[in-house]
Amino acid sequence: MYEKLFYFILILFIFYTLIPFLYSRVLGMGVFKNNRKSNNIAFTFDDGPHPVYTAEVLDVLRDHHIKAAFFVLGSSAEKYPELILRIHNEGHLIGIHNYVHHSNWIMAPWKIRKDLDRSAAIIEGITGKKPHYYRPPWGLLNIFDFFILKDYKIILWSLMAGDWRSRGGSERVRNVLLTKVKQGDIILLHDSGDTLGADEEAPQNTISALKDVLKEVSLRGYTCVRIDELFYSQHQNNNIKLQ
Ligand SMILES: [Zn+2]
């Protein structure tokens, strides 16, 4: 009896979590994670807005005339509306990263949908613009996300630097990014260290590394664009309408 129950739960778990993981993270299906046909790259920042680090990231981006994307938590957007407005006013894209930083593997599909709509309403209430881009925490999707989140474009990444950890300092972040960056990359970084498994002070390294990385990628001939531009350049021949 218990053995049957165990196998039943195991099959449900595989269906809910591991199949979507293979589909999206390994095969890149149903998600956008790079555009290798483009010579552009796109920077993205997760887990904010943060009262200190988000403003510092924005300063660096402004100094380098670069537009990026911020995947924000609805609960933090509610707390720091002035940062959401600044991100928007400075020309960056705002996407959703759930209302709180919980994994879609442990949440029910309807709860995820409800939290997304709540976060979208908060952001739209501040900026006047409804977000259309979504990145699930840790990039983990469940099987239902592909069906009930169809009005959001799901964005993953092709390059990350483990910048949620302080170990190795800004030098490690800089080295990883500059060694691995390729054309069409979507680069994942963090403007908050307040989430589970992250080091609180880690974004200091990200910000310090970012200053050098932005200079160097420009010298290598890459143009930094927002993910919607990177997406558009991949799909413009297919007449896919951007939101
Ligand atoms: Zn996150």
46 is catalytic: yes
Taking the centre of ligand 1 as the mean of its atom positions, its distance from the CA of residue 45, in whole angstroms, is 9
Contact in structure between 145 and 136 (CB atoms under 8 Å): yes
pLDDT in tens, 20-63: 888 888 888 889 999 999 999 999 999 999 999 999 999 999 99
190 is catalytic: yes
Among the listed residues 102, 115, 190, 191, the single catalytic one is 190
Contact in structure between 120 and 71 (CB atoms under 8 Å): no
Long-range contacts of 15-19 (CB under 8 A, 24+ apart): 15/143, 16/105, 16/142, 16/143, 17/105, 17/140, 17/142, 17/143, 19/143
Nearest alpha carbon to residue 80 among 191, 218, 234: 191
Where residue 239 falls among pLDDT bands split at 50, 70, 90? very low
Q: Could you identify the residue written with the tokens 């990014």?
A: 177
Taking the centre of ligand 1 as the mean of its atom positions, its distance from the CA of residue 196, in whole angstroms, is 9
pLDDT in tens, 82-116: 999 999 999 999 999 999 999 999 999 999 999 99
Q: Domains (ranges, CATH) in the chain?
A: 2-236 (3.20.20.370)
- Cα separation of 119 and 98, whole Å? 7
